[in-house]
Amino acid sequence: MSGPAEVRCMLLRGGTSKGAYFLADDLPADPAARDDLLLRVMGSPDPRQIDGLGGGHPLTSKVAVVSVSADPLADVDYLFLQVSVDRAEVSDRQNCGNLLAGVGPFAVERGLVEPAEGRTAVRIRMVNSGDLAVASFPTEGGRVVYEGSAQISGVPGSAAPVVIEFPRGSGALLPTGHARDIVADTPVTCVDNGMPTVLIAASSLGVTGYETPKDLEEDLALADRLREIRLAAGKLMGLGDVENATVPKLTLLAPPRDGGAVMTRTFIPVRCHTSIGVLGAASVAAGLRVEGGVGHAVARPPERGDRLRIEHPTGFLDIEAGVDSGPGDALPAARRTAVVRTARKIFDGTVFPRPAGAASHF
C-alpha cells in the first residue's frame, strides 16, 4: 500500500501523553491506507519505534485526527488512534482524554477555530464514542498561549491550564448492569465513564497496589491473571473478544497514601500506566461512588462534593465526577466530569513516513 511521501504533522504533548496531530484532509480517506501510513509515520511495529515518531510506549504512540465537525453541537471532530508499538495495528476502539487536551490548541493553530481574546472554548466531538467535550484554554492576540502556572503530575514544569468538561455521556455507567461481578474468581466493578475500565482491589490479586509499574509488569503470574480477567470482563461488558483490543483497562485499587481518595495502578491494558489516563480516571472516580462496588471497601472519597484526588505512580490527578444514584433500583448514572490538563506544541512541520513495503523484523 503506498501513500503520500510526506505529510503535514504537529507533535503536541497532551496531558501525560504525546501524539502526532493531523488534519483529516492531510491523511488518506480510506482507513486501511491511513492506518498503513500511520504505522510508517510512528515507526511501528518495532519495540523502539526507532524509524518513526513513536517513543516506544503506548503513551507516546498516539495519533489525533482533527476536522471541522458537521455536528451543530461541536466545532471539531477528534478521532483518536492508538498505534501499537510492537504490532502492525492501529485501533480506534478507545478515546484518549490526554491527547484531547491538545485538540483545541491544534484546531486554533490550523485555523479550524477562531480564537477569542483571553480564553477560547472549543466544542469537540470525540468520534470514537460520539461523546462531547468542551476544552477551554488561554488565547491572546490570535495565538494559543502555552505558558502558564498549571502543574500536572507526570509532566515536569508548568504550562497553561486546559480545562476539559464532559457532559453526561451516552453509554451506561455500569455496562454489565451490576455494581459488582465475579470474573475469573475475582470481585470486580466494570465501569465506563468515558473509558471501559475494570476496577479490582489490589489485595484480591495478592499485590499491594503500591508497587512500581516496572515491578508489576515483571510479575508474569499477575499478567496471566489480569489477561484472564480482561478477556472475561470484556465479554461481560459487551465489548466482545478483547484479545487484541486496547480496552477494557484494568485499575488496581488500594487505600490512599497521600490524602487522596484512592491509590491506583492502571494496566492499558498490558503495559502499566506511569500515571493514569484522563477518561480512565473519570471511570475510576465514578466507579468509587457506586454503592456496592469493589472500591467501597478500599477508597476514601470525600463525603461532599464531586471533586476527588486519584493517586497514581507519579503523583495524583484531581477530577470532578458526579454520579446520580437514581431512584429505587435504577442503576447509577454519570452526571458531569471535569478535569484540568495542560498541553504544549513541540514541533510543527512535515513528517516523512518510512517507505511502504519496507520490511520489519519485528
Answer for which of 249, 296, 309, 341 binds ligand NQM (CB under 6 A) is 249
Q: Which residue's CB is nearer to ligand NQM, number 83 or number 179? A: 83
**28, 97, 255, 332: residue in contact with ligand NQM (rule CB under 6 A):** 97
Contact at 8 Å (CB) between 1 and 355? no
Residue 95 or residue 176: which is nearer to ligand NQM going by CB?
A: 95
Question: In angstroms, what is the minimal distance from the CB of 271 to ligand NQM?
Answer: 9
Torsion angle in degrees (nearest 10) through CA of 205, 211, 217, 220: -40
Task: Single out the residue of 195, 198, 226, 298 in contact with ligand NQM (rule: CB under 6 A).
Answer: 195
Where in 52-71 is the site for ligand NQM (CB under 6 A)? Answer: 58-59
- Give least dist CB 282 to ligand NQM, A: 7
268 binds ligand NQM (CB under 6 A): yes
User: Residue 23 corresponds to which cell in the numbers above?
Assistant: 488534519
In the bound complex, which residue of the shown chain has the CB atom lying closest to ligand NQM?
A: 277
Q: What is the Cβ-side half-sphere exposure of residue 129, based on CA atoms within 13 angstroms?
A: 23
Contact between 280 and ligand NQM (CB under 6 A)? yes
C-alpha cell at 12: 503536541
Instruction: Give the three-class secondary structure for 33.
Output: helix
* Residues sharing a CB contact under 8 Å with residue 317, sequence separation 6 or more, in sequence order: 152, 153, 275, 276, 278, 281, 309, 310, 339
Among 23, 74, 96, 103, binds ligand NQM (CB under 6 A): 96
Task: From residue 106, give the alpha-carbon distance in Å to each of 12, 15, 313, 357.
Answer: 8, 14, 29, 31
Measured from the Cβ of residue 150, the count of other Cβ atoms closer than 10 Å reads: 14
Nearer to ligand NQM, 3 or 315 (CB): 315
Residue 322 CB, nearest distance to ligand NQM (Å)? 18
By CB under 6 A, tell whether 98 contacts ligand NQM: yes
> What's the min distance (Å) between Cβ of 142 and ligand NQM?
29
Query: CA 332, CA 291: separation in Å to the nearest integer?
Result: 9
Cβ 223 to ligand NQM, closest distance in Å?
17
Which of 28, 234 has the CB closer to ligand NQM? 234
Nearest to 25 by CA among 93, 110, 83, 95: 110
Only one of the segments 89-97, 172-180, 306-314, 337-345 lies at the binding site for ligand NQM (rule: CB under 6 A); that segment is: 89-97
| By the rule CB under 6 A, 278 interacts with ligand NQM | yes
Among 7, 207, 279, 351, which residue sits at the site for ligand NQM (rule: CB under 6 A)? 279
Q: Does 17 engage in binding with ligand NQM (CB under 6 A)?
A: yes
Q: In degrees to the nearest 10, what's the CA dihedral of 159, 149, 341, 199? A: 120
Which residues are CB-neighbours of 54 under 8 A, at least 6 positions away?
42, 43, 44, 60, 61, 83, 85
Q: Can you give the binding site for ligand NQM, defined by CB under 6 A? A: 16-17, 58-59, 95-98, 195, 249, 268, 277-280
